[in-house]
Amino acid sequence: MQVNKHIRRRKIIDSDRPFSDSLHPLLQRLYRAREIVDDSQLKRDLTLLSPPKQMKGVDQAVDRLILAFTQQQRIIVIGDFDADGATSTALMLLALQAMGHSQVRFLLPNRFDYGYGLTPEIVDLAARQNPGLIVTVDNGITSLAGVQHAQQLGIDVIITDHHLAGDQLPLASAIVNPNQPGCTFPSKNLAGVGVAFYLMMALRSALRESQWFETQGIVEPNMAQYLDLVALGTVADVVPLDQHNRILVHQGIQRIRAGRARPGILALLQVARRQHQGIVASDLGFSVGPRLNAAGRLDDMTHGVACLLCEDPMLAEDMAQELDDLNSDRRQIEQTMQNEAMAIIGQLHFSDEVGGNSDLPKALCLFDPGWHQGVVGILASRVKERFHRPVIAFACGEQGDELKGSARSINGIHLRDVLAAIDARHPGLIDKFGGHAMAAGLTIQKEKLAVFERALLEQLEIITNDSLFEPVIVTDGALAEKDFNLFVAQLIRDAGPWGQQFPEPLFDGEFFIVQQRLVGEKHLKLVLALDASRQFLLDAIAFHVDPQRWPDPSVERLRLAYRLDINEYRQQKTLQLMIEYFEPLASVT
């Protein structure tokens, strides 16, 4: 666990608009710190979602899909190879089939053979199935060559995506993407699965108006049955939880808690040892998402989609177990790569304590020829968390001297904009790139790695100041003694969903150590007291501590940043502080 971080408390927004009297005072404080100023922003009803027709390109996409329905053209859904892409693909297939289109297939090409997006090679692969229409999900907004190649083969393309567009858009039959130029849809934060969900809602409305379901003798599908997929993909893709996404995730979690979820999702929760009745958003992000992603990282995301599509609970359990095994392999590979990355950084003579060396560069570019291309994204994330710097981890690509990089950023540095600026200043240095503010991918030639690293650091010198790189933990302040109880912990648990840009409450305070011991080799189990009288005791745990450093009997007081957690053991619930950060304090004499 890192030390010497600055704890900063969130600013609470002032507002003349009061919350209802029934809302707990602590929740009022937490919400105002997240720029929620009245009750209307807390509502999570599906009726509050913006109409699909507000999204640019939806009408054209619906018209082209209806043509495919009436002419029974084969549709190939082509998705990305992560959890968002898998859930988007499954949702699109299930919805199209439920609306009466049997000629629909999916294709999730192996990332190591075909790369990212709708490439011409992927179009050729899809063309073998003789489709009339390709629909992309969670990709395609930058696939100029792929769309052009499909048109040359007589295949129309609908793009559904949420990634940022480039300077030029593909000449597709329709593009549905809230982040494309000219789209006024109020939420720019939908995940790919959210965009797919909106398109399918619009298609259902159009088919209803044309009396399609009546003439075909089909029961009109309830779109709410796909919200478990929407919730999983949205949380796993770490998109900001604005009100639109909070509604979608909340409604999906409610369905999962009620057991009305896809058998594959319930099975993935089971292998992760999570009870579906009490899940929260973090269970989807940290337990289900990684197991689903493991298929795309190490093998083929087709296995993940098959698990999500499976209707047989017993078969779904077998599929979920296979994904769990893949995830275990991924963790072992990741740990080896982390060790190698730290060795590389150690050779640079930089301190591994955040803020411990002013010579630490503003970004780290890491490469080892043995690294697994499917795991470099996780590696970049882990190193970024440790050093509080943007990190790009590279692995060898499929094409000879080609390197594939996966990048992760910190708040205040928009990665895709940084890559776009480098590309503009150094034409030809980057072969291709794309992504978001916090995560991006790129391809360069191996011999250009050193040049790229210099260009990256030069760009960061232009657009950043040193304060961005100071490690800061942002908390919601201290808790009063009366709020250390199961009722408040459950209140916070139910007040989400919490996630990206709507963070789960984190508190800080000073505590006395009553007991300390290691559990599971490297986790520090503590009994803490609020004051020197040691009358009010609290259980706490800190994961992944240095066993050479802890437990330390000489330390009597700690400063903590922690979350209120409910620990369930043998059907008994107890309050537990989940420690995110701690530092020793001088003893009181």
The domain that holds 502 is classified in CATH as 2.40.50.460
What pLDDT shows up at residue 120? 94
Same domain, 565 and 461: no
- Residue 169 makes CB contacts below 8 A (sequence gap 6+) with 141, 175, 180, 181
Does 427 reside within a domain? yes
Whole-number Å distance between alpha carbons of 425 and 421 = 6
Same domain, 188 and 316: yes
Does 349 reside within a domain? no
Residue among 370, 76, 27, 86 nearest 230 (CA): 86
The domain that holds 279 is classified in CATH as 3.90.1640.30
What pLDDT shows up at residue 5? 81
Question: Of the residues 442, 470, 498, which one is the last residue of a structural domain?
Answer: 470
Q: pLDDT tens, 7-45?
A: 999 999 887 778 888 899 999 999 999 999 888 899 999
Q: CA torsion, points 280, 282, 288, 291, in degrees to nearest 10? A: -170
Q: Is 575 helix (H, G, I), strand (E, B) or coil?
A: strand
- Residue 79 makes CB contacts below 8 A (sequence gap 6+) with 85, 86, 88, 89, 92, 106, 107, 108, 136, 137, 138, 139, 192, 301, 305
Return the DSSP state at 586.
P
Whole-number Å distance between alpha carbons of 260 and 14 = 40
The domain that holds 452 is classified in CATH as 3.10.310.30
Does 458 reside within a domain? yes
Across residues 484-504, what is the average pLDDT? 95
What pLDDT shows up at residue 351? 47
Report the interhelical angle of 302-309 vs 263-271 (nearest 10°): 110
pLDDT above 90 covers a percentage of the chain that reads 81
Does 338 reside within a domain? no
Does 347 reside within a domain? no
Q: Is 502 helix (H, G, I), strand (E, B) or coil?
A: strand
Q: Which two tokens stand for residue 211?
A: 């009396």
Q: pLDDT tens, 152-161?
A: 999 999 999 9
Q: Which residue has 């030639």 as its token pair?
A: 445
User: Which residues form the domain of 455?
Assistant: 355-470
The total of structural domains in the chain comes to: 3
Query: Which DSSP string do the residues of 386-439 spell out, in sequence order?
Result: HH-S-EEEEEE-SSTTEEEEEEE--TT--HHHHHHHHHHHSTTS-SEEEE-SSE
| pLDDT tier at 354, thresholds 50, 70, 90 | very low
| pLDDT tier at 181, thresholds 50, 70, 90 | very high
Same domain, 212 and 177: yes
Does 271 reside within a domain? yes
> How do beta strands 439-445 and 432-435 pair?
antiparallel
Whole-number Å distance between alpha carbons of 228 and 432 = 34
The total number of residues shown for the chain amounts to 589
Q: Which residue has 């011991």 as its token pair?
A: 517
Give Cα 145 to chain centroid, integer Å. 28
Same domain, 317 and 248: yes
Report the interhelical angle of 192-209 vs 243-257 (nearest 10°): 80
What pLDDT shows up at residue 66? 98
Same domain, 34 and 55: no
Per-residue pLDDT at 313 exceeds 50: yes
| pLDDT tier at 115, thresholds 50, 70, 90 | low
Whole-number Å distance between alpha carbons of 300 and 89 = 14
Whole-number Å distance between alpha carbons of 506 and 489 = 12
Whole-number Å distance between alpha carbons of 189 and 178 = 8
Q: pLDDT tens, 74-110?
A: 999 999 889 999 999 999 999 999 999 999 999 987 7
Residue among 293, 298, 291, 284 nearest 317 (CA): 291
Question: Of the residues 435, 470, 505, which one is the last residue of a structural domain?
Answer: 470
| pLDDT tier at 352, thresholds 50, 70, 90 | very low
| pLDDT tier at 2, thresholds 50, 70, 90 | very low
Q: What is the mean pLDDT of the chain?
A: 93
Same domain, 359 and 246: no
Same domain, 298 and 205: yes
Whole-number Å distance between alpha carbons of 180 and 173 = 15
Q: Which ranges of 35-104 would DSSP assign to H, the alpha helix? A: 58-70, 83-98
Q: Which residue has 């054209």 as its token pair?
A: 60
Does 575 reside within a domain? yes
- Residue 343 makes CB contacts below 8 A (sequence gap 6+) with none
Reported as half-sphere exposure (CB side, CA atoms, 13 A), residue 159 has a value of 30
Question: Is 192:161 a contact under the CB 8 Å cutoff?
Answer: yes
Same domain, 307 and 441: no
Return the DSSP state at 5.
P
Same domain, 127 and 250: yes
The CA-atom distances, in angstroms, between 296 and each of 16, 392, 415 are 49, 20, 23
What pLDDT shows up at residue 18? 80
Per-residue pLDDT at 186 exceeds 50: yes
Question: Is 465:350 a contact under the CB 8 Å cutoff?
Answer: no
Residue among 574, 549, 539, 577 nearest 561 (CA): 577
Element (H, E) at 289: helix 289-298
Whole-number Å distance between alpha carbons of 210 and 201 = 14
> How do beta strands 6-9 and 472-475 pair?
parallel
Phi-psi region of 57 (alpha: psi -120 to 50; beta: other; left: phi over 0): left
Same domain, 458 and 489: no
Question: Is 152:93 a contact under the CB 8 Å cutoff?
Answer: no
Q: pLDDT tens, 52-70?
A: 999 999 999 999 999 999 9
Does 342 reside within a domain? no
Same domain, 383 and 418: yes
Same domain, 10 and 88: no
Give Cα 80 to chain centroid, integer Å. 14
Question: Of the residues 470, 501, 529, which one is the last residue of a structural domain?
Answer: 470
What pLDDT shows up at residue 583? 93
pTM of the predicted model, to two decimals? 0.91
Whole-number Å distance between alpha carbons of 374 and 496 = 31
Q: In what order do the strands lie in the sheet with 432-435?
A: 364-367, 391-396, 402-408, 439-445, 432-435
